[in-house]
Structure 1
Amino acid sequence: MFLLTSASPAVTIEDSWPGYSLDLFSYPAHYAGDLDCVIIPHGVIMDRTERLARNIMDDLGNHDIVVLCVLKGGYQFSADLVDRIKALSCNSNRTIPMRVHFIRLKSYLNDQSTEDLHIVGAEDLSFLTGKNVLIVEAIVGTGKTMKTLLKHVQAFKPNMIKVAGVAFFLITHFSYLSDVGFEIPNRFVVGYALDYNEYFRDLNVSWYKCFII
C-alpha cells in the first residue's frame, strides 16, 4: 500500500524578502564576492527542524521507520532531523525505532536541473517492502527528481511514505511533501550542505543558508 500523509504548513519566506546582510555573519574569505545574502539563519533552521521532528513523532510514534537520506545535499538536514527524533524518543512515552539508508541522486549541472537522473544506492530497496519510509531531502526545486525517486521507491511496495525537506520553492507546490521547513523564493541557494558544483558545502552550517549571486 502506498500512502502519503497530509502535508503540514511550511514557514513562508516571500519573494520580496531581501535576506540578512552578510556583514552580520562570519563566512570563509574564499567565498567573498560569491554570496548575496543570508536567507535563513542556522538557528531558525534548527528550531524548525525540531518542530518537524515532533510532527513526525506525532504521526509515526511507536512505529518502525526507515529513513532514506538523499545525498549529498540532504545529509546535514537528515542528521539534524534524526538527532531530534532520537531526543524526542528518549524523553517521551512514544518512541520511533529507526533504520537509516543512504542513496545519492544527481540531476544538476552547474545551477540547472537536467533531464538525466542518476540514482546510486537504490538498485535494491526490497527491504522497504511493508515499511514506513521517511525520505529526507534538502530542497525540492522543479520536483522532477523527487517524482522519479517516489516512483522508484513505490515499486518496492512500502506501507507508507513521508517526504521531509528543508525547503521548496514558492512557485511550486507538491502534494507529496509531508513535512517541509520553508517555502523560499525561486533563487539558487547554497549552505547547509547545499552546493554549487560541489563548492560551498564547507560553509559554516552553524550560521547561515546563503544565496548565490
Structure 2
Amino acid sequence: MDSNDVSADLAHVLYTKEEIDAKVAELAAQIDKDYEGRDLLVVGVLKGAVMIMADLARALHSHVTMDWMAVSSYGSGTTSSGVVRILKDLDTDLMGKHVLIVEDIIDSGLTLSWLKSNLVSRGPASVEICTLLRKPEAAKVKMDVKYVGFDCPNEFVVGYGLDFSEKYRNLDFIGTLAPHVYQ
C-alpha cells in the first residue's frame, strides 16, 4: 500500500520510506556501538512496534534476542485511566540482561513509564528505550528515552505500524491522518 492508495485519508506525509530507512540505520549504528560486546534483548511493544522492531533488528550488526509484550492502558473512550494491563508478557527472564524497549511512538509516556518500571523490577542489567517517534508536546511524564528517531508534531499520525482502527499500519511511510477520517 502506498500514498496513492490512501491519499484522500491523509493530510500530508510526514516521513517518507527513505527518511525512515535512514533514521533506522542511524539508530541501529548507535545501538551497535553502545552495546558492543554485550548481549541485548530487544523487546517490541505490540502491535505498533512490529515495523520498527523488524527493520531495526535487521539493521543491527550484532546478535540480539527478541521478545514481545502487549500492554493496554484503558479507560473511558480515548482517555487512559492510567491503569495498565499486560495482555502478553515476555517469554524471556530479564535477570541480568540488557533490555531495549522498542516503541513506535511515545505520546503521553504514561504507559511506557509503567512498562519500564515493570521491567526494571525484574532485575535486568539495564533497561533503555528506543522509539521511532516522540510527541514532546503530548508528554505527561518525563521519560528518559535514549534513542529517538523523530520528534513529531502532536497530530494524529498513521503508517509504519501506527494505526487508526487497525488500518494504515502497512503503509511504508508515516503521514498525518485527515480529520474527516477520525471525527
TM-score range, shorter chain: 0.7 to 0.9
- Partner letter of residue 113 of structure 2? K
Residue 113 of structure 1 deviates from its aligned partner by 4.5
- Partner letter of residue 153 of structure 2? P
CA distance in 2, matches of 1:49, 1:75: 13
Higher relative contact order (CA 8 A, sep 6+): 1
Quick one: structure 1 residues 45 and 27, their matched pair in 2 at CA, closer, same or farther if it must change by over 3 Å?
same
Count of residues in correspondence between the two structures: 174
Preserved CA contact (<8 Å) 1:63 1:97 = no
RMSD after superposition: 2.2
| TM-score (normalizing by structure 2) | 0.86
Quick one: structure 1 residues 107 and 195, their matched pair in 2 at CA, closer, same or farther if it must change by over 3 Å?
farther
Q: Return structure 1 stretches of 4+ with deviation > 6 angstroms.
A: none
Q: What percentage of residue pairs aligned between the two structures are identical? A: 29
CA distance in 2, matches of 1:196, 1:108: 16
- Partner letter of residue 144 of structure 2? Y
Preserved CA contact (<8 Å) 2:53 2:102 = yes
1:164 paired with 2:130, answer yes
- Partner letter of residue 162 of structure 1? E
CA distance in 2, matches of 1:123, 1:73: 16
The 5 Å alignment of 1:1-213 reads 26-28=3-5, 31-85=6-60, 89=61, 96-107=62-73, 112-115=78-81, 116-122=83-89, 127-171=93-137, 172=139, 174-203=142-171, 205=172, 208-213=173-178
**Where does structure 2 lack aligned partners over 5 or more consecutive residues?**
179-183
Residue 62 of structure 1 deviates from its aligned partner by 1.1
CA distance in 1, matches of 2:125, 2:144: 15
Residue 123 of structure 1 deviates from its aligned partner by 6.5
CA distance in 2, matches of 1:26, 1:212: 12
Preserved CA contact (<8 Å) 1:194 1:200 = yes
**Where does structure 1 lack aligned partners over 5 or more consecutive residues?**
1-24, 90-95
Match of 1:16 in 2: none
Residue 120 of structure 1 deviates from its aligned partner by 2.1
- Partner letter of residue 21 of structure 2? M
- Partner letter of residue 122 of structure 1? D
Alpha-carbon displacement from aligned partner over 1:91-150 (angstroms, at most 9, x marks no partner): xxxxx33110011123378x934224332222775x111100010000000000101101
